[in-house]
Amino acid sequence: MALVSLRHDPLRVDELIAATAGPDHGGIAVFIGTTRRDADRTEVVALEYEAYEELALAELEAVAAEAEALGARVAISHRLGRVAVGEASIAIVAAAAHRPAAFAACRLAIDEAKRRAPIWKRTVHADGTAVWRDGVSAPVS
Amino acid sequence: MALVSLRHDPLRVDELIAATAGPDHGGIAVFIGTTRRDADRTEVVALEYEAYEELALAELEAVAAEAEALGARVAISHRLGRVAVGEASIAIVAAAAHRPAAFAACRLAIDEAKRRAPIWKRTVHADGTAVWRDGVSAPVS
Amino acid sequence: MVTGMPDDIDVTVMLFASLKEAAGTDRLQIRVPAATPVGAVWAHLPEPIRSTAPPTALRYALNDRWIAPGTPMSGGDRVALILPVSGG
Amino acid sequence: MVTGMPDDIDVTVMLFASLKEAAGTDRLQIRVPAATPVGAVWAHLPEPIRSTAPPTALRYALNDRWIAPGTPMSGGDRVALILPVSGG
């Protein structure tokens, strides 16, 4: 399995863990981002993700490489399309010899992936309205 | 599933994630500790874990409660008996509204679980020798 | 400069998120003078988008790479307009 | 004080890891004077363990709770000797 991927179906954390596994790893840190019910005014029922796929893959690969420079093996998978409340939109796995490097690489990867990858979401509300989070329709959060 | 458990069979990270899941969680941080081939002199083929089970459960429950005070839902599962290279000996899941709390709770839980839970391992080497890591036979690492 | 001149070039503009929605398409073909900078693309978008000010945080990619807005375009280029991202 | 006196008590000592291995068992029954402190258990372990110094980092649990070594024991108590841990 590729260490960086964009998927239109549910993320498979177990596959990411298997992809990063190795006998010299003693610690695996994982981050899973999920759709939160949230609700400023109306309840969120799903997020819908869209990517500039070519550049998003390149950017996530760059992020994974930067995280691996901290001493870990890193895999990143981002889901596109509709992601219902409770489902995962991003999964990051960082496997390292010891847990400090695993945690540091995982944290760097999620922070940078969110900051840099050209991927956008819109919040879909229970009342049927949908709002892009792209700084135009609504602030990025 | 109990949020804190000691198991003699392989850990199920998916069950821990399900046990902590909730619609108000946007981030799930996971740590998995695995047996590392290591090797000072002879290669490690497995770790064998033993617990003072009653107190270990109580201590892990206390650790989970402290981690939850950081704003997360926390599950901890520790495997006992033989854990081969690459297999998981401990799994911790911390689910929270946002990722900083999830990471902080996960990191606190693994650090404190390792420091406090009355659980011991011995390293089983490829040459058949085994050494307890309990400060008597060999330093704790 | 008038479109259709020999030194005009055709470029593709890629749109995402609310820009895509506002334009009703994810790709536009536009004809601009050769060497037009990437940052000048906004004025070639369809109405009513072009009448609004481009978002201050707008960034650009040229042929799948991040690029500075002053970079000149060549014929066949693909320019992407990148609004503030919200993945993860 | 001699064992078998009316104010002697029976307590269970729980052993783990290399202590269990050295003793050849995970539980010992010992008879000690009433109110003997938890920290005095080491001297009642079988040879050759009792002839070695107790590890400086040794901690104690009494009836499944952490306890200070000066705590006096009562009949039927379970005392656990806790070597430095290495779980995780």
Q: How much is the pLDDT for B42?
A: 86
Beta bridge partners of A45: none
Kindly give the residue spans of alpha helices, DSSP state H, lying in chain A.
Answer: 13-20, 53-68, 99-116
Separation between Cα atoms, residue B120 and residue A36, nearest integer Å = 39
Q: Do A54 and C21 touch (CB under 8 A)?
A: no
- Across the range B98-106, mean pLDDT stands at 98
pLDDT in tens, D21-56: 999 999 999 999 999 999 999 999 999 999 999 998
3-class secondary structure, A92: strand
What phi, psi does B28 have (nearest 5°)?
Answer: -125, 120
Contact criterion met (CB below 8 Å) for A83 and A120: no
Q: Do A30 and B32 touch (CB under 8 A)?
A: yes
Q: How confident is the model at residue B140 (pLDDT cuts 50, 70, 90)?
A: confident
Q: Would you say residue C3 lies in a domain?
A: no
Neighbours of B130 (CB within 10 A): 14
pLDDT in tens, A53-107: 999 999 999 999 999 999 999 999 999 999 999 999 999 999 999 999 999 999 9
Q: How much is the pLDDT for A2?
A: 65
Q: How much is the pLDDT for C4?
A: 54
pLDDT surpasses 50 at B1: no
Q: Could you tell me if B126 lies within 8 Å of chain A, comparing CB atoms?
A: no
Q: Do B33 and D80 touch (CB under 8 A)?
A: no
Considering chain B, what percentage of its residues have pLDDT values greater than 70? 96
- Tokens 């219902």 belong to residue: A84
Q: How confident is the model at residue B91 (pLDDT cuts 50, 70, 90)?
A: very high
Which of A14, A20, A32 to mutate: most B Cβ within 10 Å?
A: A32
pLDDT surpasses 60 at B86: yes
Distances (CA, A) of D22 to A12, A112, D82: 46, 52, 14
Q: How much is the pLDDT for B137?
A: 76
Separation between Cα atoms, residue A61 and residue A69, nearest integer Å = 12
Instruction: For domain B3-132, give the CATH superfamily.
Output: Molybdopterin biosynthesis MoaE subunit (3.90.1170.40)
Mean pLDDT over the full length of chain D: 93
Q: How confident is the model at residue A141 (pLDDT cuts 50, 70, 90)?
A: low
pLDDT surpasses 80 at C6: no
Separation between Cα atoms, residue B74 and residue B95, nearest integer Å = 7
Q: Would you say residue C1 lies in a domain?
A: no
Q: Would you say residue D87 lies in a domain?
A: no
Distance linking the first and last C-alpha atoms of chain A = 30
Which of B34, B108, B122, B132 to mutate: most D Cβ within 10 Å?
A: B132
Of C17, C66, C88, the CB nearest to A134: C17
pLDDT surpasses 90 at A138: no
Neighbours of B128 (CB within 10 A): 8
Q: Do D86 and B134 touch (CB under 8 A)?
A: yes
pLDDT surpasses 60 at A1: no
Neighbours of B97 (CB within 10 A): 16
pLDDT surpasses 60 at C2: no
Q: How confident is the model at residue B138 (pLDDT cuts 50, 70, 90)?
A: confident
Q: How much is the pLDDT for A116?
A: 97
pLDDT surpasses 50 at D66: yes
pLDDT surpasses 90 at C59: yes
Q: How much is the pLDDT for A41?
A: 74
Kindly give the residue spans of alpha helices, DSSP state H, lying in C1-88.
Answer: 17-23
Separation between Cα atoms, residue A113 and residue A107, nearest integer Å = 10
Q: Do A103 and B99 touch (CB under 8 A)?
A: no
pLDDT in tens, B37-55: 987 678 999 999 999 999 9
Q: What DSSP assignment string belongs to B102-123?
A: HHHHHHHHHHHHHHHS-EEEEE
Give the A:C interface size as CB pairs under 8 Å: 84
Residue of D nearest to B80 (CA): D87
- Across the range B63-88, mean pLDDT stands at 98
CA atoms within 13 A on the CB side of A55: 25
Separation between Cα atoms, residue D85 and residue C59, nearest integer Å = 53
Neighbours of B120 (CB within 10 A): 27
What CATH number does the domain containing C50 carry? 3.10.20.30
What phi, psi does D59 have (nearest 5°)?
Answer: -125, 170
- Across the range D78-83, mean pLDDT stands at 98
Q: Do A114 and C80 touch (CB under 8 A)?
A: no
Q: Which residue has the higher pLDDT, B6 or A42?
A: B6
Question: A93: left (phi > 0), else alpha (psi -120 to 50), else beta?
Answer: beta
